[in-house]
Structure 1
Amino acid sequence: MKLSDRLEELVKACFTGIWIESHEHDDALLEISQLCREHEWRLVSWDIDQGLRVSGSPLGDDDGSNDPLSAIRSMRSFAGDDTPSIVVLTNFHRFLSSAEIMQALARQIVDGKSTRTIFVILSPVVQIPTELEKLFIVIDHPLPTREQLKEIAEGIATEEGELPGAERLETVLAAAMGLTRLEAENAFGLSLVRDSVILPESVWELKASMLKKSGLLQLYKSSDDFTSLGGLSPPSFADRDFLIHIQLGHGYMS
């Protein structure tokens, strides 16, 4: 299910606290913006750099909109409006350690039922304070599907011969699964610079780098296969007879 479809359900059900785990904030905001235009909802977005923006337009530099606490409190100005407001707070998990900000957000989420204001936090991690746990529902922003990755590849490989054949392309797409849109674009672009065609080797290289950053896994590419592993050869007939004899002796078979 797409992010916009999931979000539409939650907004219509009046979930006033929504936490979206996403590594692609621009893409998530684009989906949310399109959803708001479709339903004529007001979109209010905030981040520490740009401050408050309503439908993409800044509110000004002298209104304290860059301050997270002021931004939360300013949502009261929309309380008397019949238009539902979707308030997207980007990377707001960084500010929830403040007791004042946490309490102000909790109050606004509770009041959101009557003011028709939905608070959405966009964050790459789920770090919800204990005081807010019951007020938020957590959803994921899905990574690109195989079809979306194919569209990205086709959008980058615009010259003849830059896109591999169908079978080779499937290998590329399989290697790219699990990458973000930006990571896939970078991998495909790197392959074009190196080889003038999109190949899976560059994709695997970027994926290995991504895993290395996490510190949890390392990707090792080898030409060996399972036949080189010991202990996996099928037992001989003599071995099977021996096993049957042992099982009979212990009453496993009648």
Structure 2
Amino acid sequence: MKLLNRMNELVRACFSGIWIESFEHTDAIAELSEMCREENWQLATWDIDCGLSHASGAASEVEAQDPLAALRTLGAMSSSETPTLLVLQNFHRFLGSAEIVQAISRAVNEGKQQRTFVVILSPKVDLPPELEKLFIVIEHALPDRNQLSEIASGIATEAGELPEGRELDAVLDAAAGLSRYEAEGAFSLSLVRDGRLTPDSIWELKIQAVKKSGLLQLHRGGQTFDSLGGLESLKAFTRRSMVRHGRGEGQPRARGVMLLSPPGCGKSEFCKCVGNEVGRPVLTLDVGSLMGSLVGQSEERTRQALAIVDAMAPCVLMIDEVEKAFSGAGSGGNDSGVSSRMFGTFLSWLNDHTSDVFVVCTANDVRRLPPEFSRAERFDGVFFVDLPGREQKDAIWTLYLDRFGLDPSDPKPADDQWTGAEIKSCCRLASLLDVSLTQAADNIVPIAVTSAESVERLRQWADGRCLSADHAGVYRTQANPKRRRSVSTKPSVN
């Protein structure tokens, strides 16, 4: 629901204390002014710079830098016939004063009889205990696709500047999650650079906007599934689930997948490829970056990050090594329950979010995760990514030999227990050191050897519990050759 409609309801219901969470004060005040003009209501605004002014633009005689004086004039502005709204910008900065808290409490309570409304406009909700029960909190949401389309139409006014059809969808997808101010700047930059609206310039500013939040990272590489060897069943499942559903209301949406495997088997690379494969940005959430030093800050940052993710839909959300982030959620730990509350917030969002966000979580040790994390309807599938088989390894060798400019006819080392990461490392070292593949292999000890017991325990756990990433159906250990032999670095007979 738009801010204008929500505010209209609250004023008519006589909620005399309203807190609007917004980063775009100019646009919020413009919407409130439009509402008051249509309803013939009175509107006054106050900020620390300009002081008190009425909607007509006439300045008040009240001292510009006195927030208490502005509150005390609200009663004098009241009218028995029409509601009067006083909008206080960034007023959360003054709520550490007992006098101001008391003045707001009095103004809100008196507003029920006088039909006066205290509206605090702030980028964050920071209510003291004395005011918590007096205010209702609403959000001035970021612009949706329709609003972004209107902004684009208002900027790209010349013939040929505004694309149509799928090109316009790509532009709006790139702008999703930007504020109105940021979207206007991105569209204008695109016109200056390209002469029409294109996604590339918009993505540049969008990456900056995500970086400024400090909560997420935006990945935009060139990889697709063609640059990733193996994982055929996982690729087909993901591509089919994300491409088939449309944008229409009521259509089922893909939720995401959880990937379990030993380290180095391609989980993270898959996450980076899936976005380009289906034409979506990939957001990376580092749960460690959400931790704050103040009480309640970690939980608030978690909610902020998830709100950004929702606003940037359709997108892919990647959480790498999720067991390290949430492993202490069910054990009590020594963090006063912060991990448990963050985990609860994320679980609730994972289960209830309606935005078109495809979540990919990776884990190397599922036993450290609470069991409720991977239940049905939180993910579309839980896949086990085993060490690659012969066909997958051949595809990976071909991929990296070409990438690092190596001779494909050179003898390859025995790779019985190698992961895709170790094949890549061998090719990279051969190119870096200018040696043969077999000589480069002398510098590599596979994870299946250094952590053989952990790898085997993970396989045993996944047996019958996970889907196979390489072939259709449930993963079974007996369907895969055992890899318990020691690694040899002698050239293969092939």
Q: Which residue of 2 aligns with 1:162?
A: 161
Amino acid in structure 2 at the alignment position of 1:109: V
When residues 238 and 146 of structure 1 are mapped into structure 2, their CA distance, relative to the original with a 3 A threshold, is: closer
Amino acid in structure 2 at the alignment position of 1:127: D
When residues 80 and 197 of structure 1 are mapped into structure 2, their CA distance, relative to the original with a 3 A threshold, is: closer
1:52-63, aligned counterparts within 5 Å?
A: 52-60=52-60, 62-63=61-62
When residues 134 and 237 of structure 1 are mapped into structure 2, their CA distance, relative to the original with a 3 A threshold, is: closer
Tell me, in whole angstroms, the C-alpha distance in 1 between the residues paired with 2:59 and 2:191: 42
Contact 2:19 2:121 in 1 (8 A): yes
Deviation at 1:89, TM superposition (A): 0.7
Q: Which residue of 2 aligns with 1:242?
A: 478
Structure 1 stretches lacking a partner, 5+ long:
244-254
Where relative contact order (Cα < 8 A, 6+ residues apart) is larger, the structure is 1
Structure 2 stretches lacking a partner, 5+ long:
229-265, 268-384, 386-467, 480-494
Q: Which residue of 2 aligns with 1:5?
A: 5
- SS of 2:137's partner is strand
Tell me, in whole angstroms, the C-alpha distance in 2 between the residues paired with 1:155 and 1:79: 38
> Any idea what the Cα deviations from partners look like across 1:181-215, whole Å, max 9, x if unmatched?
11011011111111112111111111110111111
Deviation at 1:226, TM superposition (A): 5.1
- SS of 1:219's partner is strand
When residues 67 and 161 of structure 1 are mapped into structure 2, their CA distance, relative to the original with a 3 A threshold, is: same
**Is 1:96–2:332 an aligned residue pair?**
no
Tell me, in whole angstroms, the C-alpha distance in 2 between the residues paired with 1:125 and 1:210: 18
**Is 1:46–2:46 an aligned residue pair?**
yes
Q: Which residue of 2 aligns with 1:121?
A: 120
Contact 1:59 1:65 in 2 (8 A): no
Tell me, in whole angstroms, the C-alpha distance in 1 between the residues paired with 2:114 and 2:474: 78
Contact 1:51 1:58 in 2 (8 A): no
Structure 2 length-normalised TM: 0.47
Q: Which residue of 2 aligns with 1:247?
A: none
- SS of 2:219's partner is coil
Tell me, in whole angstroms, the C-alpha distance in 1 between the residues paired with 2:62 and 2:83: 23
Amino acid in structure 2 at the alignment position of 1:114: Q
When residues 235 and 112 of structure 1 are mapped into structure 2, their CA distance, relative to the original with a 3 A threshold, is: same
Deviation at 1:235, TM superposition (A): 3.0
State the superposition RMSD in angstroms: 2.1
Q: Which residue of 1 aligns with 2:145?
A: 146
Q: Which residue of 1 aligns with 2:433?
A: none
Q: Which residue of 2 aligns with 1:111?
A: 110
Tell me, in whole angstroms, the C-alpha distance in 2 between the residues paired with 1:236 and 1:160: 50
Deviation at 1:236, TM superposition (A): 7.0
Contact 2:174 2:202 in 1 (8 A): yes
- SS of 1:57's partner is coil
Contact 1:36 1:43 in 2 (8 A): yes
The number of equivalent residue pairs is: 242
Structure 1 length-normalised TM: 0.88
When residues 131 and 223 of structure 1 are mapped into structure 2, their CA distance, relative to the original with a 3 A threshold, is: same
Amino acid in structure 1 at the alignment position of 2:470: P
Tell me, in whole angstroms, the C-alpha distance in 1 between the residues paired with 2:163 and 2:469: 37
User: Percent identity, aligned pairs only?
Assistant: 53
Tell me, in whole angstroms, the C-alpha distance in 1 between the residues paired with 2:474 and 2:134: 65
Tell me, in whole angstroms, the C-alpha distance in 1 between the residues paired with 2:474 and 2:113: 77
Q: Which residue of 1 aligns with 2:180?
A: 181
Tell me, in whole angstroms, the C-alpha distance in 2 between the residues paired with 1:237 and 1:209: 42
Deviation at 1:63, TM superposition (A): 3.0
- SS of 1:135's partner is coil
1:212-231, aligned counterparts within 5 Å?
A: 212-225=211-224, 228=228, 229-230=266-267, 231=385
- SS of 1:191's partner is helix
- SS of 1:134's partner is coil
Tell me, in whole angstroms, the C-alpha distance in 2 between the residues paired with 1:13 and 1:66: 32
Tell me, in whole angstroms, the C-alpha distance in 1 between the residues paired with 2:25 and 2:3: 12
> Any idea what the Cα deviations from partners look like across 1:140-186, whole Å, max 9, x if unmatched?
11211211111211221122222223211101101111111110110
Q: Which residue of 1 aligns with 2:323?
A: none
Tell me, in whole angstroms, the C-alpha distance in 2 between the residues paired with 1:238 and 1:28: 52
When residues 11 and 125 of structure 1 are mapped into structure 2, their CA distance, relative to the original with a 3 A threshold, is: same
**Is 1:83–2:319 an aligned residue pair?**
no
Contact 1:48 1:66 in 2 (8 A): yes
**Is 1:31–2:31 an aligned residue pair?**
yes
Q: Which residue of 1 aligns with 2:271?
A: none
Contact 2:49 2:64 in 1 (8 A): no
Contact 1:78 1:115 in 2 (8 A): no
- SS of 1:120's partner is strand
Tell me, in whole angstroms, the C-alpha distance in 1 between the residues paired with 2:93 and 2:210: 24
Q: Which residue of 2 aligns with 1:246?
A: none
Tell me, in whole angstroms, the C-alpha distance in 2 between the residues paired with 1:103 and 1:226: 61
When residues 135 and 237 of structure 1 are mapped into structure 2, their CA distance, relative to the original with a 3 A threshold, is: closer
- SS of 1:178's partner is coil
Contact 2:51 2:62 in 1 (8 A): no
Deviation at 1:65, TM superposition (A): 4.2
- SS of 2:120's partner is strand
Q: Which residue of 2 aligns with 1:233?
A: 469
Tell me, in whole angstroms, the C-alpha distance in 2 between the residues paired with 1:50 and 1:187: 29
Amino acid in structure 2 at the alignment position of 1:142: A
